[in-house]
Structure 1
């Protein structure tokens, strides 16, 4: 899959779907598979048109939006579905002020060479989002493209899935979130130096720095995770929280990998979250915390032994 973030005109006629596709969950995947399959049948280049930053970040900067994916993560997941191209359009106030006709003509037709558009029945576009799918069909007759409507049921499935995934992660229920995603929820970040507390507990950790402040981090607690390091999957357990036993006041993300003795500083890791073991607790002593960590490890290893790739 090619990724295009600049205004280059498509020579090949294309089939397009448009949206944020945050999470690229099972509802989104159904639409994307339909796009790719229809594109192959009609000999059209399959394109997902998405926007970044998220429109709310630009139009409502005080709104504390949390997304399931960074734009790089979205690109990584979308690359697995056989798309020909992902077009990332920079969302700006000027872009938001484009009239519906200018948006259709300048971007969908002139830039992307759209011949077929698959879009939700409730899709709105153009300045103040005043144009709808009926307007798009009229523009289609004017500019030579057809419009295929995604049903109310499919759109409802997408909306319900997104809401349930976000809420499940905020509740710490990663298994429900993963069932709606169709793959394990993950976070990506660079390994940075921490306070070295894990080492003193005989559980050395990689401290993960997630640079995107808009990335949704699951509820504080201890999780079973896996990560691909040097092309090999390694399992471990991750703590999200403030280390209350040590009177911490800042949230950190720390991963202890099993059977790994390697310097990971400055590596960028993708941490896939499989299960939640427990919430974060303040222990009365360091010894009690050590005892709990040993129990966590045993519980994690039991979960891993039953985990199917």
Structure 2
């Protein structure tokens, strides 16, 4: 995966999916997946010749093979305009991993500043999509807006791109049980502990990816050693509580576990922490990067009157997690 935030180092020509794509959820995948297909097998047969494309063969003519590319904005436009930090479902490294599994080879992070924000829709297409990206084909979602004050509509994009012979594919909104799939809906579900809904909208379990760092090692004193995860600063955390999880790493393979997100009120914790206890494994995990897939929300975080009460509850949590995860494998 080639990742660049410089307009000077973009690999061209491109076929592109254009949007923010935080979460790379099922709706986003409808926009992204056709890009990899178009790059691999050529465009669908089009009515009439277009720039660089044969309408008879659906190929890209004599041009170099286009790079399947996702084009997004960094920082998020909402963060830029409000000045408030925006936590992400998929920070850049995590987003890149998911995009790669979809066949995307390049991630372009357009630096969102006042210069970019003030481009008119016409200027954005001409200067960014045509000149810099040398786009041959564009895929967007039905609700995509662009240009100064979000003035550009899908119809504007299709009209302006057509002036340069660039087809624009529009993916319809994706619904799940009548609900529109969106990053906002996933955030809301995670904040409410509705992990089942969040995972259904994502099309996969929500994951946390972080390095194991040294903690206070209090878990060892009650027989439940935990791995403390250091996550990216801009990672969105679900609500505090206890979760059943699958834990993966190159060294571990996949192991069942139980995870706590919270402030550890029983031991007067002051900062939020993410701690994972592996159910069927023991050893040194320091320095390893773990991918933790959240499978079930077990209970909210609570304060216990003693460490013995905490230990007894963790034992119950571990058994509940073990049963739930085992049922998945049947």
Fold shared per TM-score above 0.5: yes
2:204 is equivalent to residue 204 of structure 1: no
- Corresponding residue for residue 42 of structure 2: 41
Q: How does 1:139-150 map to 2 (within 5 A)?
A: 139-150=160-171
- 5+ residue gaps, structure 2, are 44-58, 61-65
Q: Which residue among 75, 81, 93 is the counterpart of 1:72?
A: 93
Aligned residues of 2:26 and 2:181 also touching (Cα < 8 A): no
Aligned residues of 1:190 and 1:268 also touching (Cα < 8 A): yes
Q: Which residue among 69, 72, 78 is the counterpart of 1:50?
A: 72
Alpha carbons of 1:131 and 1:81: their partners in 2 closer, same or farther (altered >3 Å)? same
- Corresponding residue for residue 187 of structure 1: 208
Counterpart CA distance in 2 for 1:158 and 1:112 is 34
Alpha carbons of 1:242 and 1:272: their partners in 2 closer, same or farther (altered >3 Å)? same
- Corresponding residue for residue 187 of structure 2: 166
Counterpart CA distance in 2 for 1:105 and 1:9 is 16
Counterpart CA distance in 2 for 1:231 and 1:111 is 43
Counterpart CA distance in 2 for 1:298 and 1:198 is 17
Aligned residues of 2:26 and 2:174 also touching (Cα < 8 A): no
Alpha carbons of 1:223 and 1:121: their partners in 2 closer, same or farther (altered >3 Å)? closer
Alpha carbons of 1:118 and 1:158: their partners in 2 closer, same or farther (altered >3 Å)? farther
2:131 is equivalent to residue 110 of structure 1: yes
2:265 is equivalent to residue 220 of structure 1: no
Counterpart CA distance in 2 for 1:155 and 1:284 is 45
- Corresponding residue for residue 282 of structure 2: 261
- Corresponding residue for residue 134 of structure 1: 155
Counterpart CA distance in 1 for 2:144 and 2:239 is 32
Deviations 1:147-168 (A, max 9, x none): 22333x4499895332331111
- Corresponding residue for residue 26 of structure 2: 26
Q: Which residue among 199, 214, 239 is the counterpart of 1:178?
A: 199
Count of residues in correspondence between the two structures: 305
Counterpart CA distance in 2 for 1:119 and 1:155 is 16
- Corresponding residue for residue 292 of structure 1: 313
Alpha carbons of 1:299 and 1:231: their partners in 2 closer, same or farther (altered >3 Å)? closer
Q: Say which is worse superposed, 99-108 or 194-203, in terms of deviation.
A: 99-108
Q: TM-score, normalised by structure 2?
A: 0.85
Q: TM-score, normalised by structure 1?
A: 0.90
The structure with the largest helix share of the pair is 1
User: Considering only aligned residues, what root-mean-square deviation do their CA atoms show, in Å?
Assistant: 2.3
Superposition deviation, residue 77 in structure 1: 0.8
- Corresponding residue for residue 249 of structure 1: 270
Aligned residues of 1:10 and 1:111 also touching (Cα < 8 A): no
SS at match of 1:178: helix
